Amino acid sequence: MRSRVSGRQIAEHALRSASIGVLGLMLWQSLDDGVATSAVSARSGRLADALPEWTTISVAPELIAIRLDSAPTPRERDWLAALRGAGSDVRWSGNVAASAIAVQPVVSPKGGLVVMVAAPDNAVVELSDELGVIDSVRAAGEGAGFTVPVADGVLTARVGGTASRAALADSVTIRRLLVIGDAGWESKFVVAALEEDGWKVDADIRVAPGIGVSQGATASIDSSRYAAVIVLDASGAARSRQIAAYARSGGGVILAGRAASADEFAELRAGATGSEATGSAMQTSAGPTTLRTLSLVPIVNLKPDALALDRRAALVAAAARRHSAGRVMQHGYADTWRWRMSGGGNSVSEHRQWWTSAVASVAYAPRIVLPRVDETDAAPLAALTAALGPATASESASGGDGERVLSMWWLFGLLSVSLIGEWASRRLRGVR
């Protein structure tokens, strides 16, 4: 009987000792939170709360591991970079969409913005400004492009959970255009299309040798006056030296249709001109005239520095090259007026839009820097990589806040069981 009581007392001692030991362990752990944390981790959703904790503990964590399913905000990213600068080894892992946004002004009197978003193939890209969602598209290839007539403030492109933000950094000064051509429907309707789109157009239209119909002061071709010069046919050859000098000084030149055939434009053009292919030769179907059914003077023997912009089957329809500081676009579409007059219901606006886009692609437009907007983050993944290095294969910190909380619960349970067991044993044998 004595041995039984003695064994029970030993057990009670053991339970009491265990309770004291657990209490001691819990006390050590709670003190250790402020003294000796070596590795911490968090996921995207907890990052905002975790950063102040990691920053305010007395000794900086040796390792900070974060697992991201979206890019951190610039504030969070900078905070992590600061922790890294303070000596912590900051690592990140996860699947952050590789997206970026760029905003450019459209060189057009109507203004507008071109927004280009880099995004993974087939990802949904949602574009919004400070007033709300503007549009959403599915990325094809390496991203998506938007033309936005007007936007308010910072533009945001969301791809998955990642938001890229950018604002227009500069605006452009729009100057006049000069159209040079023979009297004919092409001259008339190119001038009309550009004027309808808001361009101020000077025209030098040759009606007879030595006789022209001029609109505006066309004597001097200078980049201080003109954003671009459009040469519609060989009538511009007489001014080819002026036009080449204008291009060298930064001006934009379009050599349209048969204009590039003139030898005087050999220096400027993107390539030589081939034999004209008519609509029937292109095996186009009957019906309203479109850009694709127009006669084409193909560009052949492209210069090494020329870039093909548009092709029709195997033929190069449009190409561009730099000429010193200027840009030259050569296209082989002849008689685009037929598209406007004989095309479908929207042919007038399509013809107008096509011409203004062509002009915008070469136009000389001095930039005016706009006030800087700070709340931008044009390429979050690139910025994250620059700040913290590339992603690691996986979250490398083990344990972490969650596991510590869990172990405290286990210790508390063990403490409770020990104390209740020891107390119950004593009461059952009649000892207080």
Summarize as ranges the residues that interact with another protein (CB under 8 A): 182-189, 192, 203, 205-209, 211, 213, 257, 276, 278, 295, 334-335, 337-338, 340-342, 347-348
Nearest approach in angstroms of CB 125 to another protein is 36
Nearest approach in angstroms of CB 276 to another protein is 7
**φ and ψ at 174, to 5 degrees?**
-95, 125
Single out the residue of 82, 124, 129 nearest to residue 376, CA to CA: 129
Q: Which is nearer to another protein, 295 or 376 (CB)?
A: 295
Q: Which is nearer to another protein, 190 or 383 (CB)?
A: 190
Nearest approach in angstroms of CB 186 to another protein is 6
Residue 242: helix, strand or coil by DSSP?
helix
Alpha helices for 72-179 (secondary structure H): 74-85
Cβ contacts of 320 within 8 Å, gap of 6 or more: 270, 306, 307, 309, 327, 328, 329, 330, 361, 362
Q: Are 423 and 432 in contact (CB under 8 A)?
A: no
Nearest approach in angstroms of CB 281 to another protein is 10
Q: Which is nearer to another protein, 12 or 186 (CB)?
A: 186
Q: Which is nearer to another protein, 101 or 334 (CB)?
A: 334
CA angle 320, 325, 327 (to 5 degrees): 20
Q: Which is nearer to another protein, 136 or 215 (CB)?
A: 215
Where do we find the tokens 């136009």? 363
Provide the residue type at 282 as one letter. Answer: M
| Burial status of residue 89 (CB atoms within 10 A of its CB: 0-12, 13-18, 19 or more) | middle
Q: Which is nearer to another protein, 213 or 424 (CB)?
A: 213
Q: Which is nearer to another protein, 123 or 334 (CB)?
A: 334
Nearest approach in angstroms of CB 288 to another protein is 9
Rg, the chain, Cα only:
36
Nearest approach in angstroms of CB 337 to another protein is 7
Nearest approach in angstroms of CB 196 to another protein is 8
Look at phi and psi of residue 255 and say left if phi exceeds 0, alpha if psi is from -120 to 50, else beta.
beta
Measured CA to CA, the distance from residue 234 to residue 209 in angstroms comes to 13
Nearest approach in angstroms of CB 108 to another protein is 20
Residue 29: helix, strand or coil by DSSP?
helix
Where do we find the tokens 């159209």? 179
* End-to-end CA separation in angstroms for the chain: 20
Q: Which is nearer to another protein, 67 or 206 (CB)?
A: 206
